[in-house]
A and B are shown apart, each in its own frame.
Chain A
Amino acid sequence: MTFKVDSNGYYGQYGGAFIPEMLYPNIQQLKQSYLQIIGSSAFQNEFQQLLKYYVGRPTPLYFSHRLSKKYGTKIYFKREDLCHTGAHKINNTIGQILLAKYMGKDRIIAETGAGQHGVATASVCALMGVKCIVYMGSVDIKRQSPNVARMKMLGAEVRAATSGSKTLKDATNEAIRDWINNPEKTHYIIGSVVGPHPYPDMVSRFQSVISQELTHQLEFLEGRSFPDYLVACVGGGSNAAGLFYHFLDNPKVTIFCVEAAGHGVNSGKSAATTQLGRPGIIHGSKTLLMQNADGQIQEPHSISAGLDYPGVGPLFAHLKDTKRAHFRAVSDRDAMLWGLELSKMDGIIPAIETSHALGVLESEKFNKDDIIVFGCSGRGDKDLDTYINYFEL
């Protein structure tokens, strides 16, 4: 069994590139050049330098004494929240901005939900001196206002997506429409392992720095190069894809993907895509997605904007079908409480997306000697308003 993309852009039955003809040349150009560009030593030199000196990698693998004691197992956090701009998203935007440069593109568009990907894109555009336009659902603009201000300060133009549910799905639609309208000098920096091939594979590769570092860090700290468990939250799946990348073929590593249950998986207000979804096409990819019987895409709900997406990267649909990964869903309420728990126990205020992952500490049983690594995908600064309102702080 393989979990790498095949030559047609599929993970098992999922993936592909279901794009209108208008996008064919752009996707074709990406498909034909991405592996060669990413593999070149010139690219790798620049990429590694920027990851080190701009992003601040490697990120620590942090052992939580107090949580380990409380839950009777060995709990580590891979600290992507310590990346520049506060989340794993920048691993991908650094990679893609370099790729855009090598392809001669000088205008960047992006979609964003939580605003983390938007900020990470705006930052690297400032770094490279290129024009940046970020599409963001008008609902998200309200609930993630600090990130909107950041993007503006970084010189990006934030355009509100006002169609549909006015969240991440709609921002993605608008970004794709922008690309149709501006096909020549524009590169679209997608923020997760979603969209048409080759995006899911390309973004996974850029995020795979997470599991690559983890291999060495575990070797150093535990004397073995793999953990017993990996746990990550899944919106589109980019932080999870990065955390799992080098371990997918190692059957000794048990993998948990945690989705947002919202008000409850069957409440009608949920974003637990792999439980509620059926195979279909969203944003150019065949994957599991939340839809009605007629094939209309449904509006998801999560308190965390970054998980508020009705689809999931095609890799994750494949991980679900093959049972390689276990899927869990954690509610808005529980996620908020886990966020508080991590803050009080470790002095780490996590992004609400990240908080969802901690739910497995309650739902699963772990042994004393098990090594569990959580992807700590982002910090909670952007969510302070939500935390304040929720807990009446």
Chain B
Amino acid sequence: MNNRLDGLFKPNKKILSIYFTAGYPRINDTATILRGLQKSNVDLVEIGMPFSDPLADGPTIQSSSTVALKNGMSTKILFEQLQNIRMDIHLPLIIMGYFNPILQYGVEKFCEECAQIGIDGLIIPDLPLQVYEQSYELYFEKYNLHNIFLITPQTSEGRIQKIDQKSKSFIYMVSSNSVTGSKNRVEDKVLSYFKRVKSQPITSPKLIGFGISNNQTYRTALKFADGVIIGSAFINFLDNNSIEDIGKFIKSIKE
């Protein structure tokens, strides 16, 4: 079985990836949101598994996670909702979640289930590279799942090289030293980090995430990377708009 992430990146193609929290705003919105995103010509989707203590997330994703958990979302229910999703969703799909729920589910069982559903990759922000290599890489390989690693403005050049070598797909470039959350403009300090990374010999494609929220930040980020990831701004949109209007949001980003 091919991994849909493998065919995603092409020269001169810019990727728009959207993150949403599964179980938010309502528990059964998962498939509807996925269809809305596919219809709006998004390139890639990250399905967030809500966690009680999301350390790397800002207020928007924190509160969407809290609501999703209150709605009753769990790993098991998410897998049930995704069971037949490949009948009509052809986008590459990534699951993003903190490590403890995955550990409790059983890492191998989790990977197996993802493969069976047709998930292409995982982002586990609090699973460090070294632990991944030592204990879990074998399951990712066995089930042909790509693990997506993060880099930040603090990541050393040497470590970026190491992460680049380990990456089977794209590198998630965290735009600034921060938890998730949307910002209106890209700061100068962040720009110089984008430039620095762009000048480095990195073979993996790069997607910039954290703080991308509108057409301006989207266009700036695209100058330095193969695409962007939008999370908090999309969740804020869902707070005030109906799921049918996802297309409008995507249009406002791409203009």
Contact = CB atoms under 8 A, between A and B. Distances in A.
B4 to A, nearest CB: 24
Contacts of B240: none
Band of interface residues on A: 20 to 34
Contacts of B138: none
Contacts of B98: 281
Interface stretch (A172-180, A241-249, A385-393): A172-180
Interface in B39-93: 51-53, 55-56, 58, 62-63, 66, 69, 74-76
Band of interface residues on B: 35 or more
B198 to A, nearest CB: 19
Contacts, number: 104
Interface string A14-27: 00111111101110
A169 interface: yes
A179 to B, nearest CB: 10
A211 interface: no
Contacts of B63: 163
Contact of A164 (B52, B104, B149, B178): B52
A281 B55 contact: no
A21 B152 contact: yes
Nearest to B55: A176
A181 interface: yes
25 contacts: A17-B128, A20-B55, A21-B151, A22-B174, A24-B128, A25-B155, A26-B154, A173-B53, A177-B179, A181-B177, A182-B177, A183-B177, A184-B177, A281-B100, A281-B103, A282-B100, A293-B104, A294-B74, A294-B75, A294-B76, A294-B105, A295-B101, A295-B102, A295-B103, A295-B105
Interface of B: 51-53, 55-56, 58, 62-63, 66, 69, 74-76, 98-105, 125-129, 131, 149-152, 154-156, 159, 174, 177-179
Q: Which 5 pairs across A and B sit closest by C-beta, in order of nearness?
A: A295-B104, A295-B101, A21-B150, A296-B52, A294-B74
Interface of A: 16-22, 24-26, 163-164, 169, 173, 176-177, 180-184, 278, 280-284, 291, 293-298
